[in-house]
Amino acid sequence: MFDSVLVANRGEIARRIIRTVQRMGLRAIAVHSEADADLPFVTEADDAVLLGPAAPAQSYLDVDKVIAAARATGAQAVHPGYGFLAENASFARAVTEAGLVWIGPAPEAIERMGDKINARNMMESAGVPVAAGTREPVGALTEAVRAAERIGYPVMVKTAGGGGGIGMGVAHDEESLGKAFEQASRAAARFGGAQDGTSRAILLERYIERARHVEIQILGLADGTVVALGERDCSVQRRHQKVVEESPSPGITADLRERMLAAAVRAGEAVGYRGAGTVECLVDADAQDFVFLEMNTRLQVEHPVTELVTGLDLVEHQIRIAAGEVYALEARPGGHAIEFRVYAEDPKRFFPGPGKIDVWEEPSGEGVRVDSGYVAGNTVTPFYDPLMAKLCVHGATRDEAVARARTAVAAFKVEGPKNNLPFCAELLDDPEFVSGDYDTGLVSRMRKAR
């Protein structure tokens, strides 16, 4: 086992990784931008290196600076967290070439799964169900129109290399396809063009009307076996981005769960996956069927949900697997867990609301876990994503988890930045959410009903 880990990330996830690194008796090294100098992940680390100005390109995304920080501090391994460089194969290679241990899957696995068209075709060959859609990148609108006619409306238009819902749009007819195509093209040029030509490409897929977003957590062990650690239902979304996640999914049958877990293991084995990864699927709630969406080759924001039901520390397993430790693992999930993303955004329209935190009081108690990136006195700046904390609850049943969540949300006091805790409270009183029979259209229905 190596003796030190540099965490190439910020905020709540850097802090959460550092906690496990230190618990394992290893030295934790933080890297940070000027804007983040007084955040807890910097002060709690054993060592911290200033990378540069606030702009991610000059700090968290600067591969040379991160590698130099690792060298300067004598770090032996690098954990990328999620976002930033986590799914950047060149960064993974640069880490290895610098003689450091990369805590993540092989760069080849990142590359294969990073291009959604390639990933989709590969999954299909591995026997994982995929949605009807384009097999090749679509270059021009005329091609998109032909493809949409073949697939059948409605279609989902997305960028091959993008993530986080950026540029995604639904087209119900040729006219709306034109708009969605233009939007995706703009997003691809802006956000997805950094790596290579293929990531600028557009992809069309059959759109499922009453869909749930359900993903499977996998762990590729050092001996090559892949285990599935259960699912997370991430159907509570605004602007195609997740707000609340829960496990087990209240919307799938035991039979569907079994099929999904088996497919996720096949997906992981097909790429020779090592470490923590997530196989994202779309579930047709009415048909109780599923299709592969994409595979995220990293730790996921919502991984605590899986940790709460399995009792495993996923970061610890990432580290042990990266260190080459060989062991068997069996997951026996129990109880029900729900995570709420506490965003610095207004709870009605979900527009960003950065600002200085005057009051920050986290809830605690039985079955309550809070992963936060801030304390009172810190400032949430506009340079990074709006996630301030993750409020997670665990209970023996979904009802118990929901009840604990209500108490915890009410006890969470944040003053300063706008925040979505009022939305979380609203959701916990929404009959559709409480029933468990909801889909990805839930949040927009809640906003239209007002």
The binder of another protein chosen from 34, 385, 400, 432 (CB under 8 A): 385
Structure tokens at 289: 């069927």
CA–CA distance, 82 with 8 (Å, rounded to integer): 9
The binder of another protein chosen from 328, 330, 351, 431 (CB under 8 A): 351
In the complex, the smallest distance separating the C-beta of residue 346 from another protein, rounded to whole angstroms, is 9
The binder of another protein chosen from 233, 345, 371, 439 (CB under 8 A): 345
- Give me the residue label for tokens 């092989």: 106
CA–CA distance, 402 with 421 (Å, rounded to integer): 15
| Among 3-11, 136-144, 292-300, 343-351, the segment contacting another protein (CB under 8 A) | 343-351
Any idea what DSSP says for residue 62? -
Assess 352 for contact with another protein (CB under 8 A).
Answer: yes
Q: Could you tell me the CA-to-CA distances from 299 to 13, 193, 448 in Å, in that order?
A: 10, 23, 34
CA–CA distance, 236 with 246 (Å, rounded to integer): 9
Assess 384 for contact with another protein (CB under 8 A).
Answer: yes
Binding map of another protein across residues 233-252, x = CB under 8 A, - = no contact: ------x-------------
CA–CA distance, 172 with 148 (Å, rounded to integer): 10
Q: Which of 15, 16, 274, 298 is catalytic?
A: 298
| Among 24-32, 219-227, 380-388, 407-415, the segment contacting another protein (CB under 8 A) | 380-388
In the complex, the smallest distance separating the C-beta of residue 386 from another protein, rounded to whole angstroms, is 4
| Among 146-154, 353-361, 402-410, 419-427, the segment contacting another protein (CB under 8 A) | 353-361
Structure tokens at 197: 């030509």
Residues of span 144-183 touching another protein by CB under 8 A: 164
Exposure of 105 by Cβ count < 10 A (0-12 exposed, 13-18 middle, 19+ buried)? buried
User: Within 10 A of 431 (CB to CB), how many other CB atoms are there?
Assistant: 8
Which residue type, as a one-letter code, is found at position 128?
V
User: Within 10 A of 410 (CB to CB), how many other CB atoms are there?
Assistant: 13
In the complex, the smallest distance separating the C-beta of residue 352 from another protein, rounded to whole angstroms, is 4
Residue 298 annotated in active site? yes
Residues of span 113-132 touching another protein by CB under 8 A: none
Residues of span 425-444 touching another protein by CB under 8 A: none
CA–CA distance, 148 with 142 (Å, rounded to integer): 10
State the helix-helix crossing angle for 314-322 and 11-23, rounded to 10 degrees. Answer: 70
Assess 382 for contact with another protein (CB under 8 A).
Answer: yes
Exposure of 111 by Cβ count < 10 A (0-12 exposed, 13-18 middle, 19+ buried)? buried
Binding map of another protein across residues 48-87, x = CB under 8 A, - = no contact: ----------------------------------------
| Among 72-80, 208-216, 283-291, 344-352, the segment contacting another protein (CB under 8 A) | 344-352
Distance of CA 267 to the CA centre of its chain: 18
| Among 12-20, 87-95, 218-226, 349-357, the segment contacting another protein (CB under 8 A) | 349-357
Assess 353 for contact with another protein (CB under 8 A).
Answer: yes
User: Within 10 A of 43 (CB to CB), how many other CB atoms are there?
Assistant: 12
Assess 347 for contact with another protein (CB under 8 A).
Answer: no
| Among 38-46, 226-234, 314-322, 383-391, the segment contacting another protein (CB under 8 A) | 383-391
CA–CA distance, 103 with 112 (Å, rounded to integer): 18
Assess 355 for contact with another protein (CB under 8 A).
Answer: yes
Instruction: Give every CB contact of residue 207 below 8 A, 6+ residues apart in sequence.
Output: 154, 155, 156, 170
- Give me the residue label for tokens 């091609």: 143
Assess 416 for contact with another protein (CB under 8 A).
Answer: no
In the complex, the smallest distance separating the C-beta of residue 42 from another protein, rounded to whole angstroms, is 20
CA–CA distance, 7 with 10 (Å, rounded to integer): 8
In the complex, the smallest distance separating the C-beta of residue 212 from another protein, rounded to whole angstroms, is 24
Residue 236: which H helix or E strand, with range? Answer: strand 226-238
Exposure of 142 by Cβ count < 10 A (0-12 exposed, 13-18 middle, 19+ buried)? exposed
> Binding residues for another protein, how many (CB under 8 A)?
15
The binder of another protein chosen from 386, 416, 419, 443 (CB under 8 A): 386
In the complex, the smallest distance separating the C-beta of residue 35 from another protein, rounded to whole angstroms, is 11
In the complex, the smallest distance separating the C-beta of residue 390 from another protein, rounded to whole angstroms, is 16
CA–CA distance, 338 with 335 (Å, rounded to integer): 10
| Contact status, residue 402 vs residue 434, Cβ threshold 8 Å | yes
In the complex, the smallest distance separating the C-beta of residue 388 from another protein, rounded to whole angstroms, is 11
In the complex, the smallest distance separating the C-beta of residue 325 from another protein, rounded to whole angstroms, is 36
Assess 201 for contact with another protein (CB under 8 A).
Answer: no
Assess 193 for contact with another protein (CB under 8 A).
Answer: no
Chain residues that interact with another protein, rule: CB under 8 A: 164, 239, 344-345, 351-355, 381-386
- Residues marked active site are found at 298
